[in-house]
Amino acid sequence: MMPEPRPAAAADAAAIAALDARVNPSPWSADAVRETLARAGGFVIASPGAPLAGFALFAQVADECEILDIAVDPGARRHGLGARLLAAALAAAATRGARRCFLEVRASNAGAQAFYRAAGFVEDGRRKDYYRSGQGREDALLMSRALP
Ligand SMILES: CC(C)(COP(=O)(O)OP(=O)(O)OC[C@H]1O[C@@H](n2cnc3c(N)ncnc32)[C@H](O)[C@@H]1OP(=O)(O)O)[C@@H](O)C(=O)NCCC(=O)NCCS
């Protein structure tokens, strides 16, 4: 059976941060995750091999939402978990009145850009030298999509 996302709870913060530390070049601390879950929102998803195989964190202000962080365990990718997490976050934000969703993604992260494009996001612009990268900096691509 396909796993379904569930809303993330404060008790998920440590596992979310542990997964983020494995896959994100600028990982969030468990405290930062906890604070985001309290102030904004998040979803987690299981896979047959892992109780927490992916997560999505998002924020919402009035009619805009932002995907803050999303990741799937490398061993569980390309099975639709990320798409389900993203859809759950967008649906929750839309229910609370969001009309458009924004995000930033590293210019070098072609996989995530393809993932967002597949979910209907389009590139709006670029923030120069937005991310720390090794010894230097790298640009952020700004992407967005309308919510139904
Ligand atoms: C981006 C990420 C969350 C996608 O998770 P996922 O569970 O593998 O995504 P899905 O299986 O739901 O993919 C849905 C569709 O997106 C596209 N897609 C996803 N990953 C892709 C990749 N690496 N390259 C090209 N297209 C990709 C495909 O169209 C895919 O459909 P398909 O598998 O039927 O071809 C995952 O790769 C990840 O955790 N990356 C590291 C963290 C990260 O970069 N997060 C984004 C920060 S802005």
Q: How many residues does the chain have?
A: 148
Is 115 close to ligand 1, i.e. is its CB under 6 Å away? yes
Contacts of 31 by beta carbon, 8 Å cutoff, 6+ apart:
13
pLDDT at 90: 98
Q: What's CA 76's distance to the chain center, in Å?
A: 15
Is 72 close to ligand 1, i.e. is its CB under 6 Å away? yes
pLDDT at 133: 87
pLDDT at 49: 84
The CATH class, in words, for 6-146 is alpha beta
How many A from CA of 57 to the centre of ligand 1?
16
Q: Where are the domains of the chain?
A: 6-146
Is 23 close to ligand 1, i.e. is its CB under 6 Å away? yes
**Which of 23, 67, 78, 144, when mutated, tests ligand 1's pocket best, judged by the most ligand atoms within 8 Å of its CB?**
78
Q: What's CA 139's distance to the chain center, in Å?
A: 18
pLDDT at 113: 98
Residue 76 DSSP one-character state:
G
Contacts of 19 by beta carbon, 8 Å cutoff, 6+ apart:
52, 54, 55, 71, 73
Dist CA 16 CA 8 (whole Å) = 9
Give the pTM: 0.97
- pLDDT per residue rounded down to tens, the chain (148 residues): 778 999 999 999 999 999 999 999 889 999 999 999 999 999 999 998 889 999 999 999 999 999 999 999 999 999 999 999 999 999 999 999 999 999 999 999 999 999 999 999 999 999 999 998 888 999 999 999 999 8
For the CA of 73, the nearest atom of ligand 1:
39
Cα-Cα end-to-end distance for the chain: 27
For the CA of 70, the nearest atom of ligand 1:
45
